[in-house]
Amino acid sequence: MANTISPNMGLIVPGIGTEPSPTWASDLNASLSSIDSHNHSFGQGVQITPDGLNINSNLTFQNNSATGLSGVQLVIQAAQPSTLLNLYSYGNNGDLYWNDGSGHLIPITSNGSVTGASGTITGLPSGTASASFSSGTGTFVFQQATNTAANIDAGSLIVRYPGSYPTPSGNYVLLQASSFLSSGYSLTLPQLPSATSFLGIDTSGNITPFIPATNPNFSGKNVMADSQNVVVSANPNTNGLLIIRGVVSTFTTTPIIYSGEGFTVSRTGVGDSFLVTFNTSYGDVPSVTVAYSDNQSNTQTFATTSLPSSSSVTIQMYEVGSGLVSAGVFSFIAIGQRA
């Protein structure tokens, strides 16, 4: 046999002792030329198996895609890579990260689940911070860490009744800060009071219900009833004024209160002299004005007061001329400082 053809590269192999010269030399030179240019591609030698590779430096694909992969097994990095790796595994759980080339390390997985799943935004900016939506309650939930609520810094907040947007339009409450603020401050909402109460705010921004024993401090000129100013006191007293008034009939053995409240009345046992006792004592001796209203003898009668104190006053009625004590109807007004 003069020569044979090799099965992998189609080389001309001269037959030993059978192929004459110079033909064998020409065949040998052609085969050596093919060997020198071979690249182990199909028909260019036996293809290299993974066992024949020893990759000991970065391997470039020269901007070509890696195709036909059935999977990728990444080595978990012990620390954040110092060199630019677009896709890598890092951390105790071997989470997957993407580096966008600008130094933003974006977590793709976290603690056994995919971050950024439908309805969630996680890794804000790192760790377990998240923003998620609960379809069951229609609620967005913002967390700075697992089970830890996050603060939100935003502009004006438009609040609507759930489900009313966008129809009907215009039904919203706009919450916004004043443009005249010189500095920031906090508003702290209170717990629900045990009973219906006014709300107040202190200089620290704490909103609290008024304790029943505590009265709000309003200027007398600013307090109104039915659009009319209510004058509490012309002087800035420590306490406001207490007013007690009444109309009393003394024709019967036991005096009868026709109108008024906050007092009781009784005979003193000395003629037609009557003791008016205030249910709430004044902080000082009140000013008491008394007037005669009616009697049954059609005589002129007048009423006087005596022995006023913070808790009571004595009232008597006299007939003009005779000076006799007379029964009748009297009215009074007592004004003094509230205790």
Is residue 312 very low, low, confident or very high in pLDDT (cuts 50, 70, 90)? very high
Is residue 245 very low, low, confident or very high in pLDDT (cuts 50, 70, 90)? very high
pTM exceeds 0.75: no
Lowest mean pLDDT among 65-69, 95-99, 220-224, 288-292: 220-224
The sign of the dihedral angle between the CA atoms of 93, 94, 98, 99 is: positive
Distance in angstroms (rounded) separating the CA atoms of residues 113 and 95: 9
Within-domain flag for 282 = yes
Q: Which pair of structure tokens corresponds to residue 272?
A: 């037609």
- Give bridge partners of residue 120 from the DSSP assignment: 132
Would you say residue 228 has pLDDT above 70? no
Lowest mean pLDDT among 73-82, 208-217, 287-296: 208-217
What pLDDT, on a 0 to 100 scale, did the predictor assign at position 319? 78
CB-CB contact of 40 with 46 (8 Å):
yes
- Whether residues 84 and 24 share a domain: the answer is no
What pLDDT, on a 0 to 100 scale, did the predictor assign at position 10? 74
Q: Measuring CA to CA, how many Å separate 54 from each of 48, 111, 118?
A: 11, 34, 42
- Whether residues 29 and 97 share a domain: the answer is no
**Backbone Cα Rg of the chain:** 51
Q: Tens of pLDDT along 321-335?
A: 776 677 788 999 999
Q: Tens of pLDDT along 248-257?
A: 998 888 999 9
Q: What is the number of domains present in the chain?
A: 3
- Whether residues 31 and 90 share a domain: the answer is no
- Whether residues 21 and 91 share a domain: the answer is no
What pLDDT, on a 0 to 100 scale, did the predictor assign at position 299? 65
Average pLDDT estimate for 115-137: 74
CB-CB contact of 250 with 329 (8 Å):
yes
- Give bridge partners of residue 289 from the DSSP assignment: 333
* Percent of the residues in the chain that have a pLDDT greater than 90, as a whole number: 22
- Whether residues 28 and 89 share a domain: the answer is no
More confidently predicted of 262 and 37? 262
Within-domain flag for 278 = yes
Within-domain flag for 25 = yes
Would you say residue 295 has pLDDT above 70? no
Which domain does 110 fall in, by range? 76-115
CB-CB contact of 268 with 314 (8 Å):
yes
Domain holding 259: CATH number? 2.60.40.2080
**Averaged pLDDT of the chain:** 81
Distance in angstroms (rounded) separating the CA atoms of residues 246 and 260: 4
What pLDDT, on a 0 to 100 scale, did the predictor assign at position 110? 75
Within-domain flag for 202 = no
Tell me phi and psi for residue 318, to 5 degrees. Answer: -125, 145
- Whether residues 329 and 259 share a domain: the answer is yes
The sign of the dihedral angle between the CA atoms of 261, 264, 267, 270 is: negative
Within-domain flag for 146 = no
**Termini Cα distance of the chain:** 137
Within-domain flag for 128 = no
Within-domain flag for 303 = yes
Q: Which pair of structure tokens corresponds to residue 304?
A: 């006087």
Q: Which pair of structure tokens corresponds to residue 317?
A: 């009625």
More confidently predicted of 22 and 309? 309
Within-domain flag for 130 = no
Would you say residue 54 has pLDDT above 60? yes
* Percent of the residues in the chain that have a pLDDT greater than 70, as a whole number: 81
